[in-house]
Amino acid sequence: MSLETAHSPGQSAWQTAAILIGRLIFAAVFLMAVTFKFADMGGTAGYIAAAGFPFPLFLAWCAALLEVVLVLCFLTGAFFSQAALVAAAYVLFLGFAFHGPSHWAGNQAEFGFFVDHFTFLAGLLFAAVHGPGRVLALKLGSAS
């Protein structure tokens, strides 16, 4: 386990900044999501129930715990690639379950929400392949 803070020879300052900003954006998105869940877990459970899932309160808590773990992984860089892949699967699931084709007829904005999940998915997949960068990243669960 190491926490590197110097620039690697092959990485410029703007690349380092872009990677760190990307990690912060990933963390911020999941932090906002989990904050809303903790603020109104019953409302989240109601939303899950409305989508037809069983055990909505249990699933709301599972989602909140997953999002906390993702925030920690994105902020620290620990298990980063694995977390990005889990987040990608989660985002894909959320896109189909809560904004998929069955929702488009009732509200055309849902199609936009659905598509937004795929842009986020693309970023997560890219991040999973390239890792957390070399700066401010715990190298837990990393092959490098």
- Quote the CA–CA distance of 102 and 106 in Å, as a whole number: 8
Instruction: Give the distance, in angstroms, between the CA of residue 119 and the centroid of all CA atoms in the same chain.
Output: 12
Q: Tell me, what's the pLDDT at 137?
A: 81
Q: Name the pTM for this structure.
A: 0.86
- Quote the CA–CA distance of 3 and 72 in Å, as a whole number: 15
Q: What percent of the chain has pLDDT above 70?
A: 90
Q: Give 3's strand partners.
A: 138
- Best CA proximity match to 94, nearest among 126, 70, 130: 70
Report whether 26 contacts 74 (CB < 8 A): yes
Close Cβ partners of 133 (under 8 Å, ≥ 6 residues apart): 11, 15, 16, 19, 20, 23, 77
Predicted confidence band of residue 139 (pLDDT cuts 50, 70, 90): confident
Predicted confidence band of residue 29 (pLDDT cuts 50, 70, 90): very high
Q: Tell me, what's the pLDDT at 135?
A: 83
Does residue 120 register a pLDDT over 70?
yes
Q: Tell me, what's the pLDDT at 126?
A: 96
Render the burial of 90-122: b for 16+ CB within 10 Å, e for the rest.
bbbebbeebbbeebeeeeeebeebbeebeebbe
Does residue 7 register a pLDDT over 50?
no
Predicted confidence band of residue 10 (pLDDT cuts 50, 70, 90): low
Does residue 34 register a pLDDT over 50?
yes
Q: What is the pLDDT of residues 56-81, one digit of tens each?
A: 999 999 999 999 999 999 999 999 99
